[in-house]
Structure 1
């Protein structure tokens, strides 16, 4: 008789609850063991939200409490791990909202007081960092203490729009985390996790012995789900899912890879699935933007706009290694932040130049993020776009260009007036986002031997080259395509090529003029 698959943990990150509830646990205890077996000191790991950080700390808590029964049948149970017990201080800085440094102090002191009560320790009233010091000292009288801090940066992330308060919060956190260094001889191990990687000078200046695992190969697959793990742990669910999708299992796995795989955080080339999306995918048996819709920091869009980042450049970026370690409140760089929050990921690494190539990890993130960008840049949501996008595509397919630009003008007419920027690139960006939101490949700012094409839309049987002007003329745009022979790059594709020049009128907020010309093949 076929065994019923274990239920999937879509709503809990508690290791104890997962094991006691009979939920599926993807065994990460070997990589955890290899990290902690000889570990001493403080460790830091940055990963995007919903990527298993809380489950990792929950697992470490049960290990250091010596609760071996929870690990029966897992890799570590048959290892030489000593199961020595230690008092554990576990803090989650995302549990209560923090708007001021006073909120932070109150929350930290409340959490420390509850832990102290568990160990029958009485704390003297005082600032949070002093109580933290006292608690470590009291608990370490018999055994060294294990310190686990989850979402260390949450109070900072939630206050990035209030820089003055964020600085006060940062200074308080700096003093609080500095206690770990000062009490080093009483600490067996400290493990700190978060989404962002603020520079050590910024938050961890007093914790200068911190071992950063963010780009370390030891942590490459400690969080997230590998391809092998997906095919092993979800093998009982694949036949049913393939039937639901009317696909072979091989085709289904390929579709799952395209939608949810692709996260990579170190030089190790193996890419990962987001656990949250994967668990929901195999619970609902439906492709959906699970991770993205579970919460997106609103400050990201504001930073993108403030820094003038062109969304068209997010598909493939290069960044030097040092950029990931200079993250400061006063000088937030959006690209490292997009990487740390999971909207971009490592696609390649050049060892010689120490240069990372970043791109969207997968279809879920790309489609969701582009839809989000379009809504933020133009206030055009997906529901609005769905009314017109297929008519827009049909107009291109049938080469009904008058109809195409008539529909396109509807999009631009719905861009709020104060969002219209008098530069060609803004309208080009909206054009790009409209198509990308619905999965149509648009190459923007394509390099040729003699310049750049504004946009290329390639359909199965036709190629369109677009050049945009602002308050000029369509003929001028078309002449630029012809004079630079932008079309030569596509002559070997074996498809008809149409060159299109278009002009955006900032007064009418529409495409008021266009001109086309077919390229002789």
Structure 2
């Protein structure tokens, strides 16, 4: 094993700590210098735990004189720490910040509202120091996200933040630099309506890698850690890089820019010397699943990649019954391709950590499987197909559907199509499996070392018709030259019982 004494900054969000205590870090200071000297008001949207807080801390160190002889007054607002479940919670945390600054710069006797106090602090800080003020806001939208399903509370927070952030425009002559970060950019909650001069760099190519780790940065900075990881998992160095890329890479924040690795998962994989779902486990996307269910969004489209117009990225509109922009901005989907002619983006899961983490999280909402038995079911399905025991697989699948409780059974065809999608997509984590919904392709194909299974499911049709469709549509043609045994299965699915009712299987040598 290689040197394990190098310090990984897991959970460290203060740039000064990283530098003074000799933690490893990927140097982004060139981009920090560029932004600090080429503009003033910035906004950056990135998923949680992607380095936004550390980026703001780097700006703070820069403007406090850690890099220059000139020291600016810095007002740093962190909205991460509070649980926003009551109107007064937001008022309290903003007031607490203001009180600390007022102890240093004073308070006007007529400043009673949060916004007037904020404006007064900015003006006095500039006048007393002789330097323009730096304002850094970390997770500006945290209160809005926590209140997303409470419209009354959301409106209250919207009005408070609209007035508070609006001060940054009226106080422009006192400001040297402004940087706001968050997960989303909300529209029609009017938070930014008074702050319309913000430079939103969330999807601009020069800043696409300001948070996250590029492949080259990974190799240049963490080669000893990569070697430790490869030895611990009995992989070659190149195999480790490929596994890291498949598991943690793939985030694209601009259609023209290089992809990046999730920094939180990368550091934790080095620390634990294993591949795991580190980022996904730090937060549960319950509110996103609830939005999907409320909007009756077809999950099959989401799970196979979805094409959306460029307008989906400009902002998240609360009054539109479409959860996709928020799912993208939260980091569960990312840009995978771009159609220049029609200006449409292809969104998909960035990597295996998010893909299988998200699907596993969805399962209890749509099937009888609980979190603790998903692995059992999927494992049994795969074992049976690997050994050629297709009868056991189909029987288990029948028992699986029979176990769906009434409250999960909404008696719609789409619901059961989604369940098929989830089951086969989850099998893809361990074997080559794909499931389709478009015409002209088999419903599902599973490839194991010895067998290729081609499934066709018929709702209120016959198993004979399903087999005939496999032959007539040429579903087997792509596998004719394959050395493996081809198994085709025609399955009847009854709308009365909402279950498999009969199946026929034929083997093609």
Tell me if the contact between 1:63 and 1:83 (Cα under 8 Å) persists in the aligned partners.
no
Output one character per residue of 1:341-378: Cα deviation in whole Å (capped at 9) or x when no partner.
Answer: 11111112233332222111111111111111112222
Moved more, 122-131 or 46-55: 122-131
**SS of aligned partner of 2:177:** strand
- The answer to whether residue 502 in structure 2 is matched with residue 513 in structure 1 is yes
Equivalent pairs, count: 502
Match in the other structure for 1:135: 121
Match in the other structure for 1:301: 289
How many angstroms apart in 2 are the aligned matches of 1:160 and 1:325?
19
Match in the other structure for 2:172: 184
Match in the other structure for 2:49: 50
Shift of 1:484: 3.5
Match in the other structure for 1:396: 385
Distance 1:92 1:136, change over 3 A: same
Shift of 1:169: 1.3
Output one character per residue of 1:453-476: Cα deviation in whole Å (capped at 9) or x when no partner.
Answer: 322222233222222234554344
Tell me if the contact between 2:136 and 2:178 (Cα under 8 Å) persists in the aligned partners.
yes
Moved more, 350-359 or 294-303: 350-359
Tell me if the contact between 1:66 and 1:84 (Cα under 8 Å) persists in the aligned partners.
yes
Moved more, 398-407 or 217-226: 398-407
Compute the RMSD of aligned alpha carbons. Answer: 2.3
Q: How does 1:369-380 map to 2 (within 5 A)?
A: 369-380=358-369
Output one character per residue of 1:85-125: Cα deviation in whole Å (capped at 9) or x when no partner.
Answer: 211111112221222333212221112112322x2423555
**SS of aligned partner of 1:234:** helix
Tell me if the contact between 1:469 and 1:477 (Cα under 8 Å) persists in the aligned partners.
yes
How many angstroms apart in 1 are the aligned matches of 2:200 and 2:388?
55
Output one character per residue of 1:387-444: Cα deviation in whole Å (capped at 9) or x when no partner.
Answer: 3333322322343332112211232233332112333332232233223334133322
- The answer to whether residue 220 in structure 2 is matched with residue 232 in structure 1 is yes
Q: Structure 1: give runs of 5+ residues left out of the alignment.
A: 69-81
Tell me if the contact between 1:477 and 1:501 (Cα under 8 Å) persists in the aligned partners.
yes
- TM normalised by structure 2 equals 0.92
How many angstroms apart in 1 are the aligned matches of 2:188 and 2:211?
23
Q: How does 1:98-247 map to 2 (within 5 A)?
A: 98-117=84-103, 119-122=104-107, 124=109, 126-141=112-127, 142-199=130-187, 202-247=190-235
Match in the other structure for 2:71: 85
Shift of 1:175: 1.5
Distance 1:316 1:463, change over 3 A: same
Shift of 1:135: 1.1
- TM normalised by structure 1 equals 0.90
Tell me if the contact between 1:409 and 1:510 (Cα under 8 Å) persists in the aligned partners.
yes
Output one character per residue of 1:258-296: Cα deviation in whole Å (capped at 9) or x when no partner.
Answer: 111111101333111111111111111111100000112
Match in the other structure for 1:26: 26
